[in-house]
Amino acid sequence: MMEGEVVKLGGSILKTLDSYVEAASRLTMIKEEVVAVVVSAARGVTDKILRACEDDLKAGLEVLEFYYAMASQLSPGLARRVSEVLAPLKKLNDDCKDNPWLQARMLSLGEAASRLIMVESLEHVGVKSMSVPATSVLEGYGYPLNARIDYLGSKTRLLSALRLAVSEKAVPVIEGFVASSDGRVVVLGRGGSDYTATAIASLAGARRVRLVTDVDGIYTADPRRVPGARVVESMGYLEALEASRMGAKKMHPRTFEPHRLFKPVEVLVGGWDKATRIHPKPYTAPPRVKLVASKPLGRLEVLALIGEGAPTPKVASRVLDALYSAGVSIKSLHAVSGRPSLTIMVDRGSSSKALEVLHSLVGV
Amino acid sequence: MKVERDEAPNERSGVVSPLRGGVRSVRVAVFGFGGVGRELARLLAFRGGEIERRYGIRFLVVAVADSRGAAVKTEGFTGYELLKLVEAHRGGVSNTPWGRSGWSINEVYDEIVPDIHVEATPPDYSTGEPGLSHAFKAVRKGAHFVTANKAPLALKFWEIMEEASKNDVYVGYKATVMAGTPLVSMLRGLRGYSIRRVEGILNATTNYILSLMEDKLVDLSDAVRIAVNDGVAEPDPRLDLEGWDAAAKIVIIANTLGIRLGLSDVNREPLNASLKDVISAARRGFRLKYLAVLEGDGGGAWVGPGEVPRESFLGMARGVLNAVRIDVGVNVISLSGKGGGVEVTAHALLSDMLEAVRGWLPP
Ligand SMILES: NC(=O)c1ccc[n+]([C@@H]2O[C@H](COP(=O)([O-])OP(=O)(O)OC[C@H]3O[C@@H](n4cnc5c(N)ncnc54)[C@H](OP(=O)(O)O)[C@@H]3O)[C@@H](O)[C@H]2O)c1
């Protein structure tokens, strides 16, 4: 078992070579702690490959050129390797649209190239680093575009790779989102890198997972709509999943699955310096309302107070009072048993007002 | 550092088992550093420590070579270095810090003779090269020869075996047939039996293509295209479709069973099935398969499309599975398993590498 943390670098912070190198420099400061680095594809790449699979062949070439340009700045050898790895994007045709195996293989290329660039970026800043293809350590099963990780089938191979890294004092870099199923490439569904990172952490027995993105964490409300919104300090798994379901922070729905099955691990979501801590135990502190999320639904807006403290009569009555005083009429208010949220539906027109009112209940 | 003659791994005397605390270093050179060669390197990097603990054998990769050159390190690459080699671009091992541009087998062997030579170059069934010269060079220099490349054995099985026995080295080729499903080991256990008939589905690509035709009702050319897209068939699948691959495998099987047979003795019919043939077979309760057959008693061998009952052992091997049925008169033995893929192939190579130094393993 390996103490320490798994760091997942999200696509939102991987935009240019500079951002790879910057992430690498950040990693130098904690490299003794790092069990593995999980990388996503650089920003926008997955969408482009999907478009290329639809029929926009140009998008595939753009991905190739984008990575090639970055790789060339690091070394000519890397540039050649990257263009070899991405070569199938040049030969895409109609077949991709309705062949999920082919689509999975094409999508995985964006992640694979990102791994190669991350490894070289780490070497560039003086950190010994090892390239560990997900396909050689993670076994998956199920639909090739939304596969699940076969934890036990992956454990031995994963651990032997991680142990090599420990003995070589090198940081292993693994691409997220990707696994192999009986020798063929599968992907884990949108946001699958989170799932990769937590699976690796649980199987390796790591203490912590850090999901690094370009925001500081999960906010008490959408900061673009609620000026007083701030980063939530900590929440439980269920609260985080609920927030994710309500669109507050997109996370793969199976992100916390490995933790439930294996070793529970603390998850940090956010930036390098500031993040929301998601802890395995639901009730470490008295239950509270942690945040308010919202998403449109036709002419209505679904608002949700999220937190173990939300689905209580006390909070419900405070919601009703506060919205009434603010002159907001509500369409419905309900809670679902076992889910840490209280859902309120209002007209779109009054949603901003409602959001602000509900935000004042965060912390209750 | 060359292993002394009197402690050659294939000699039973002086066995040092890990049970008695000894760890032996075995130097390995890998020729051909594409899909299979790289997967083997990665496997050795990741699992080398475990192999050492379990078997007391430390495999040291001292050289890897591709078509443009080699990378050499006489004390053996570390796991970290192996992974760097694996990430070199194709044909690029000589551009790494250990690279020797333009080096081929002769220069490598002049610098260091490995204990085990692993051959993972592409097969050429007309000349056998480069595998054939590599095979002779290796065994003459006293290196065990472990190969995934079928061509040298399909063309000159006995010449290689004789030379190997003269030089007291092992030839391992489990990876050449059914890539890792240990058919070859099983065949070696059938020495002395009479062989009535061996029939099998030995080529994963054609089997996958025929399964696609039946499942999706597409014709041959569409099925080939899908198989390439699915990552099962090579972009240029001619060696599979024309039957070279299956023919080479039946030749290796025959010779392993002591039946001398050359590649040119095999009657070879390419895969030319139409969708109509596939459907017609299905209507009658059969499946069209690409078969490889060896008849006992000097009956010769052939490869080509043929029908088998749908519910039979061979009929049920679908997709990328391989299956073989061996009739030895007093018994019929059936074996099936994955027929290809770099991972299973690399595992088969590793297993043969351990077999080559079996004298050092616990009995
Ligand atoms: N893939 C499988 O699932 C599988 C299964 C069983 C057996 N096999 C057999 O295993 C062998 C390797 O397969 P593969 O898939 O790894 O093929 P591959 O990816 O095409 O790799 C072949 C490698 O051989 C190198 N090569 C070519 N000529 C050479 C020479 N004269 N000296 C040294 N190296 C040379 C190539 O060099 P460059 O990189 O410079 O081109 C390349 O590195 C083949 O014989 C194949 O039939 C494969």
Strands B171-172 and B144-147, sheet pairing: parallel
Please provide residue A161's backbone torsions phi and psi, each rounded to the nearest 5 degrees.
-70, -45
CA atoms within 13 A on the CB side of B97: 6
Q: What is the 3-state secondary structure (H, E, C) of B127-140?
A: CCCCHHHHHHHHHH
Distance separating alpha carbons of residues B187 and B326, to the nearest angstrom: 9
pLDDT tens readout for residues B157-178: 999 999 999 999 999 999 999 9
Which residues in chain A are contacts of B230 at CB distance < 8 A? 99, 101-102, 184
Please provide residue B307's backbone torsions phi and psi, each rounded to the nearest 5 degrees.
-100, 140
> Is pLDDT at A269 greater than 60 in this prediction?
yes
Point out the least confidently predicted range of A256-260, A280-284, A300-304, B309-313: A280-284
Q: What is the ipTM for the molecules in this complex?
A: 0.89
pLDDT tens readout for residues A294-342: 988 889 999 999 998 889 999 999 989 999 999 998 899 999 888 999 9
Q: Which of A83, A122, A160, A186 to probe the B interface (max B CBs under 10 A)? A: A160
> Is pLDDT at B13 greater than 50 in this prediction?
no
CA dihedral B53, B59, B60, B63 (to 10 degrees): -160
Residue A1: predicted pLDDT: 66
Would you state the structure tokens that stand for residue B96, as one six-digit string?
């790494």
Could you give the residue ranges of the DSSP H alpha helices within A288-364? 313-325, 351-359
Our CA-based measurement puts residue A114 at a distance from the nearest CA of chain B, in whole angstroms, of 13
Centre a 10 Å sphere on the Cβ of residue B231 and count the other Cβ atoms it contains. Answer: 16
The label of the residue with tokens 């409300």 reads A221
Rounded to whole angstroms, what are the CA distances from B72 to A141, A323, B85, B312?
39, 75, 11, 50
pLDDT tens readout for residues B319-349: 999 999 999 999 999 999 988 889 999 999 9
Distance separating alpha carbons of residues B86 and B40, to the nearest angstrom: 10
> Is pLDDT at B5 greater than 60 in this prediction?
no
Question: Could A164 and B79 be called an inter-chain contact, meaning their C-beta atoms sit closer than 8 Å?
Answer: yes
Question: Could B39 and A136 be called an inter-chain contact, meaning their C-beta atoms sit closer than 8 Å?
Answer: yes
Query: Among residues A191, A214, A237, which one ends one of the domains?
Result: A214
Per-residue pLDDT, averaged over A224-251, amounts to 88
pLDDT tens readout for residues B268-291: 999 999 999 999 999 999 999 999
> Is pLDDT at B243 greater than 90 in this prediction?
yes
Same domain, yes or no, for A160 and A297? Answer: no
CATH code (residue A205): 3.40.1160.10
CA-nearest residue, atom 44 of ligand 1? B122
Question: Could B344 and A185 be called an inter-chain contact, meaning their C-beta atoms sit closer than 8 Å?
Answer: no
Same domain, yes or no, for A86 and A210? Answer: yes
Rounded to whole angstroms, what are the CA distances from B35 to A106, A111, B340?
18, 19, 12
Same domain, yes or no, for A182 and A80? Answer: yes
Band of pLDDT at residue B262, cut at 50, 70 and 90: very high
Which residues in chain A are contacts of B48 at CB distance < 8 A? 164
Residue A251: predicted pLDDT: 81
Q: A165-177: buried (b, 16+ CB within 10 Å) or exposed (e) per residue?
A: beebebbbbbbbb
The helix/strand count (H/E) of chain A reads as: 12, 16
Residue B16: predicted pLDDT: 45
Same domain, yes or no, for A198 and A92? Answer: yes
> Is pLDDT at B11 greater than 80 in this prediction?
no
> Between residues 45 and 84 of chain A, which touch chain B (CB distance below 8 Å)?
77, 80-81, 84
Band of pLDDT at residue A111, cut at 50, 70 and 90: very high
| Domain contains A298 | yes
Which residues in chain B are contacts of A81 at CB distance < 8 A? 87-89, 92
Residue A361: predicted pLDDT: 83
Our CA-based measurement puts residue B95 at a distance from the nearest CA of chain A, in whole angstroms, of 8
Ligand 1: residues within 6 Å at CB? B 31-37, 65-68, 90-91, 120-123, 130, 148-149, 175, 179, 340-342, 345
Percent of chain A predicted with pLDDT > 70: 99
Contact partners, residue B164, CB within 8 Å, separation at least 6 = B139, B145, B170, B171
B44 versus B4: the higher-pLDDT residue is B44
pLDDT tens readout for residues A1-24: 678 999 999 999 999 999 999 999
Same domain, yes or no, for A15 and A136? Answer: yes
Residue B7: predicted pLDDT: 44
Contact partners, residue A34, CB within 8 Å, separation at least 6 = A4, A5, A6, A7, A27, A171
Please provide residue B305's backbone torsions phi and psi, each rounded to the nearest 5 degrees.
-70, 145
Which residues in chain B are contacts of A77 at CB distance < 8 A? 88-89, 92, 95-96
pLDDT tens readout for residues B40-88: 999 999 999 999 999 999 999 999 999 999 999 999 999 999 999 999 9
Per-residue pLDDT, averaged over B94-101, amounts to 96
CATH code (residue A304): 3.30.70.260
Residue B4: predicted pLDDT: 41
Distance separating alpha carbons of residues B119 and B356, to the nearest angstrom: 14
| Domain contains A225 | no
| Domain contains A260 | no
Which ligand 1 atom lies nearest to the CA of residue B340? 3
Our CA-based measurement puts residue B297 at a distance from the nearest CA of chain A, in whole angstroms, of 39
Q: Name B43's bridge partners.
A: none
| Residue ranges with strand state E in chain A | 5-9, 34-39, 129-131, 140-141, 148-149, 171-175, 178-181, 184-187, 208-212, 234-236, 266-270, 275-279, 291-297, 300-306, 330-334, 341-347
Is any Cβ of chain B less than 8 angstroms from the Cβ of A98? no
Which of B46, B86, B232 is the closest to A161 by Cβ?
B46
Residues of B near A (Cβ–Cβ under 8 Å) read 39, 42, 45-50, 78-80, 83, 86-90, 92, 95-96, 225-226, 229-232, 338, 341-344
What is the amino acid identity at position A357? V
| Domain contains A230 | no
pLDDT tens readout for residues B192-206: 899 999 999 999 999
Sign of the C-alpha dihedral computed for residues B75, B78, B84 and B86 taken in this order: positive
Our CA-based measurement puts residue B80 at a distance from the nearest CA of chain A, in whole angstroms, of 6
**Among A237-241, A356-360, B102-106, the range of highest mean pLDDT:** B102-106
Query: Among residues A185, A214, A243, which one ends one of the domains?
Result: A214
Distance separating alpha carbons of residues B267 and B299, to the nearest angstrom: 11
Would you state the structure tokens that stand for residue A279, as one six-digit string?
């802890």
Query: Among residues A148, A183, A214, which one ends one of the domains?
Result: A214
Residue A176: predicted pLDDT: 97
Residues of B with active-site annotation: 249
| Domain contains A190 | yes
| Domain contains A236 | no
CATH architecture, domain B186-339: 2-Layer Sandwich (3.30)
| Domain contains A220 | no
Domain ranges of chain B: 4-179+343-360, 186-339
Which domain range does residue A141 map to? 5-214
Band of pLDDT at residue B8, cut at 50, 70 and 90: very low
CB B297 within 8 A of CB B181: no
Would you state the structure tokens that stand for residue B212, as one six-digit string?
């696609």
**Structural domains counted in chain A:** 2
Which ligand 1 atom lies nearest to the CA of residue B90? 39
Per-residue pLDDT, averaged over A210-230, amounts to 92
Same domain, yes or no, for A13 and A116? Answer: yes
Percent of chain B predicted with pLDDT > 90: 85
Per-residue pLDDT, averaged over A128-154, amounts to 96
B14 versus A151: the higher-pLDDT residue is A151
Would you state the structure tokens that stand for residue A111, as one six-digit string?
């992640």
B122 CA from centroid of ligand 1 (Å):
4
CA-nearest residue, atom 10 of ligand 1? B148
Per-residue pLDDT, averaged over A184-209, amounts to 94
B123 CA from centroid of ligand 1 (Å):
8
Distance separating alpha carbons of residues B342 and B25, to the nearest angstrom: 25
Would you state the structure tokens that stand for residue A6, as one six-digit string?
């798994």
B284 versus B361: the higher-pLDDT residue is B284
Residue A157: predicted pLDDT: 93
Q: Name A330's bridge partners.
A: A346
Residue A182: predicted pLDDT: 86
Q: Among residues A248, A314, A302, which one has the least CA distance to residue A276?
A: A248
B360 CA from centroid of ligand 1 (Å):
30
Residue B21: predicted pLDDT: 60
Same domain, yes or no, for A71 and A185? Answer: yes
CATH superfamily name and code, B4-179+343-360: NAD(P)-binding Rossmann-like Domain (3.40.50.720)
> Is pLDDT at A208 greater than 50 in this prediction?
yes
Residue A283: predicted pLDDT: 58
Same domain, yes or no, for A194 and A332? Answer: no
Q: Name B335's bridge partners.
A: B324
CA atoms within 13 A on the CB side of B288: 24
Distance separating alpha carbons of residues A201 and A195, to the nearest angstrom: 10
Distance separating alpha carbons of residues B148 and B131, to the nearest angstrom: 10
Which ligand 1 atom lies nearest to the CA of residue B68? 40
Band of pLDDT at residue A183, cut at 50, 70 and 90: confident
User: Burial level of A299, CB count in 10 A (0-12/13-18/19+)?
Assistant: exposed
| Domain contains A261 | no
Which residues in chain B are contacts of A162 at CB distance < 8 A? none
CA atoms within 13 A on the CB side of B34: 13
Residue A342: predicted pLDDT: 94
Centre a 10 Å sphere on the Cβ of residue A29 and count the other Cβ atoms it contains. Answer: 9
Our CA-based measurement puts residue A138 at a distance from the nearest CA of chain B, in whole angstroms, of 13
The answer to whether the peptide bond before residue A280 is cis (omega within 30 degrees of 0) is no
Per-residue pLDDT, averaged over B214-241, amounts to 93
Residue A284: predicted pLDDT: 59
B114 CA from centroid of ligand 1 (Å):
19
